[in-house]
Structure 1
Amino acid sequence: MTQTLTEQLWAAVEPVYAEILDHPFLAGLTDGTLPRPAFRHFVVQDSHYLRDYARALAICAAKAPGEAEVRAFADDAIGALAAEQGMHAEFLTAFGESAEQAAAEPVLPTTRAYTSYLLATVYGGSFAEAVAAVLPCYWVYARVGEQLLARSSPDPLYARWIATYGDEAFQSVVRRVLALTDRLGEQLSEAERGRVFEHFTTTTRYEWMFWDAAWRGEQWPV
């Protein structure tokens, strides 16, 4: 039986996903031992990331061939900004800070690299390539949320983050994007399929790097 495109894509990143699940940042979320500065680093950089991710989703909407896909990606772009303004503001309040203070902090190396790659790909590539580049942020978070939801966290702040990505509303959005990806897979040339795999694999690696940067407290070295 022929595998779907999403089955093939996931098989390509299984080792990366295993490393993500084993990362001490996620282990610390679930057992409540993650240092608050690491979580704060993540929240601030994720706020920066989501603003550019929303732009990437808006470009996907502009490139989409059908009205349903235009609406879906436009809604997701709005949702990414809402998450940045709502959920992250709530987390920052827990640190006694405002969204304006976080926005004034620098975009750090991994965040800059990830968003630069993402925007270059969605601007310069085909619709299928654009979808492949934005897909890991949907899919990896859904899979991580699903895995962590059963364990949750003794820390209420961390439990709130886990619940956001493990709940059914988010999972249903991800299923919609996966179904679209499989439909696109039926029309790809071999050359375009290769680029789709390259972009998907690269941004999945950036997902690991993003958590790792927060764990390390990454700063600009000079």
Structure 2
Amino acid sequence: MSSDTLFLNDENTLYGRMKTACQEDWHNYCHHPFVLGMADGSLPIASFRHYLQQDYLFLIHFARAYSLAVYKSDNLEDMRSASESVSGILGEMTLHLAYCREWGLTEKDVVSLPEARANMAYTRYVLERGMAGDILDLYTALSPCAVGYAEIGYRLKNDPDTLKEGNPYWAWIETYGGKNFLAVPESRSNSWSSWPGPVTTPPEWMLSVRLSGKRPAWKSASGRWVWTAHSNVRWQFAILCYPEVSNNNS
């Protein structure tokens, strides 16, 4: 692994410790059937088109979450970083629509699609944690997407078993596994680890994850999971997965 991707497997970072605390769920996320289907090109087109439509709606709330991060930040440097993220996401939305057109989806097709329950569950969870907690609560809830995409993209791009020629999803893999994309989550991961800890809670308690003894608390028909720690522990980790590999995208 090259030096610019060591952050993905560094167990000493906050991101690494969070992954270690939920290894099985994180592995299931990064090796979801949707991800494996992109790797070998077998993912049904209907599933990917559904993902593209929902991802645009997701980005709207993602931008709102980083706008909330501006408010939650306690110094100008963090405010500027969150503001840059908002601008980047809004720009990404324009590029996302262009990518959707390559898949035969117009802007009207995308914005008129009802928001899936899974999408609502995760995005509202992120916003709720951000409003109820501090800046670290918000970034923790955002991390499965912010850094998880990089881990998935990097692995697929560098896996010799990933199909390249004739794979309709290779462009997506190249984008999320490329250096330009990896630079952003690496910066975020480093900034999270540089914080001394939550504003109101010592890191020892925050990272002392005690599971409720149940499997993921909620999973929709589209395959997105929300996994949370025991309710009396402030550290909560939501895992955003993908639409199931099927033509049933309800």
TM-score under structure 2 normalisation? 0.76
Relative contact order, CA 8 A, sep 6+: which one is greater? 1
From 9, 13, 18, the counterpart of 2:27: 18
Q: CA RMSD in A?
A: 2.4
1:183 to 181, 194, 209: 194
- The whole-number CA distance in structure 2 between the counterparts of 1:22 and 1:72 is 30
1:36 to 32, 45, 48: 45
Secondary structure at the aligned position of 1:203 is classed as coil
Aligned to 1:128: 136
Between the aligned residues of both structures, percent identity stands at 23
Instruction: Supply the distance in 1 between the matched residues of 2:166 and 2:67 (Cα, whole angstroms).
Output: 35
Q: Kindly tell me: are residues 23 and 5 of structure 1, through their superposed partners in 2, closer, same or farther at Cα, counting changes over 3 Å? A: closer
Query: Which residue identity does 1:44 align to in structure 2?
Result: Q
The aligned amino acid for 2:22 is V
How far is the alpha carbon of 1:125 from its aligned partner? Answer: 1.0
Which residue, out of 6, 28, 31, partners 2:15? 6
Partner of 1:174: 185
Q: How does 1:78-117 map to 2 (within 5 A)?
A: 78-86=87-95, 88-117=96-125
Q: Which residue of 2 aligns with 1:218?
A: 249
Q: Which moved more, 1:112-121 or 1:60-69?
A: 60-69
- What whole-Å deviation, never above 9, does each CA across 1:24-64 have from its counterpart, x for those lacking one? 21111111111110000100001111110110011112211
| Deviation beyond 3 Å, 4+ runs, structure 1 | 152-157, 185-188, 190-195, 197-202, 212-218
Give the length in aligned residue pairs: 212
Q: What SS class does the counterpart of residue 106 from structure 1 fall into?
A: coil
Quick check: 1:145–1:162 contact (8 Å CA) kept in 2?
A: yes
Instruction: Tell me if the contact between 2:56 and 2:93 (Cα under 8 Å) persists in the aligned partners.
Output: yes
- The 3-state SS of whatever aligns with 1:26 is helix
CA distances 1:88-124 after superposition (whole Å, capped 9, x unpaired): 2233212322122210110011001111111111112
Give structure 2 stretches of 5+ with no counterpart: 1-10, 210-227
Say if 2:46 and 2:247, in contact at 8 Å, map to a contact too. no
Structure 1 counterpart of 2:73, from 45, 61, 64: 64
Aligned pair in 2 of structure 1 residues 214, 64: CA closer, same or farther (>3 Å)? farther
Kindly indicate which of the two structures has a greater share of residues assigned to helix. Answer: 1
Whole-Å separation in 2 of the counterparts to 1:45 and 1:200: 27
